[in-house]
Structure 1
Amino acid sequence: MQSFIDRFIERFCVPKAQSSLSSMKQKIVMKVQLNSEKCRTKALKIAAKAKGVSKVSIEVDKGQVEVIGNGVDAVCLAKLLKNKLGFATIVVVEEVKKEKEEKPAVPIPWISSYLHYPQHHAYYDGFYGY
C-alpha cells in the first residue's frame, strides 16, 4: 500500500523527458518550518523519497533543508514540502562542483649519512678492553 507522498511523487514529479539537469549534480536549499521533531522527520522523509536525491541534511537553527542529487525537481520538492509542512520556499539551486583531488605527496628517498662512516662502538674504542 503506497502512501500519499509516494503516489504524488510518481504521478506529478516524474520528469516526462530527460533534460540536461538530470546529468548535473545539484544542491538545493529550501527554507521550511521546522518547529518540532515531527516536522523535521516529515521534511527528511519527503526529501529523501524524491527522485534523484543522494543526500539530505537539515539546519535546524536556520530552518533549512539541503538536498543534493542528480536531476532533482526543486519545484516539485518545494510543493511536496509546502503541502505537508505548510511553508516551503526555494532559497538556492546551484551546481555542485567537484573538488580538485590533491595528488598524494611523493616521499623523497633519503639515505642516511651514517652509512658512509665506519662503525664506532664502545667495543672499538677500547672501553671494554678489546
Structure 2
Amino acid sequence: MKQKVVIKVQMDCEKCRSKALKIAAVAKGVSSVSLEGDDKDKVAVTGDGVDSFCLTKALRKKFGHANIVSIEEVKGKDKKDKKGDETKIIPIPWNYAHYPPYVPSQYDEYGSSCIVM
C-alpha cells in the first residue's frame, strides 16, 4: 500500500532542511521526499510500507520537535492494458558445448583419471 506521510518539523535554516530530507530519504520504504508548506517546514514522504512512527522518532532525535500532520493513501494509475505489459519467457535449449571433452590421461592405459592406481 503506497502512502503519503506529511510531518511538520521545526527547521530554521537551509542546512536543517537538507538534513531533514537526508534523514527521511534513508528510511525504509521511502520512494520520494519533498518539502511542503509556506515556510518549507513540512516534510512529505511517499513510499510503500513507510513506518511513520519510526520516521517521526528519527526526526525528533535530530530536531527536537516533529509532529505527524497527515497520513493518506496514494492511488496509482489504473492499468487497463495489461496484455502489452506481459513479458514472454522463451526457453533456451540446453547446450552441452560448454563442458570440456573427456581426454584420457597419457599416463593411464585404461582411460581413468586416477594416476595412483
Tell me which of 14, 19, 24 is aligned to 1:47: 24
1:71 pairs with one of 20, 37, 49 = 49
Distance apart, 1:37 and its partner CA: 1.1
Per-residue deviation at 1:60? Answer: 5.5
Give the share of equivalent positions with the same residue, in percent.
59
Question: Aligned-pair distance for 1:94?
Answer: 0.9
Query: Which structure features the higher share of helix residues?
Result: 1
Q: Please state whether the residue corresponding to 1:50 is helix, strand or coil.
A: coil
Q: Structure 2: which amino acid aligns with 1:44?
A: L
1:33 to partner: Cα distance: 1.1
Q: 2:35 aligned with 1:89, yes or no?
A: no
Paired positions, count? 80
Q: C-alpha separation between the residues in 2 aligned to 1:60 and 1:36?
A: 15
Alignment of 1:1-130 (within 5 A): 24-59=1-36, 61-62=38-39, 63-100=41-78
Give the 3 Å change call, closer, same or farther, for CA 102–33 of structure 1 in structure 2.
Answer: farther
* 1:61 Cα offset (Å): 2.3
How far 1:59 moved relative to its partner? 2.1
Shift of 1:86: 1.2
Normalised by the size of structure 2, how large is the TM-score?
0.63
Q: Distance in 1 between matches of 2:10 and 2:76?
A: 31
Q: How far does the alpha carbon of each residue in 1:15-74 deviate from its partner, in whole angstroms, 9 at most, with x for none? A: xxxxxxxxx000000000121011101100000000000000012624100000010100
In structure 2, the gaps of 5 or more residues are 82-117
TM-score by length of 1: 0.57
Range with bigger deviation, 36-45 or 92-101: 92-101
Question: Alignment partner of 1:39: what SS?
Answer: helix
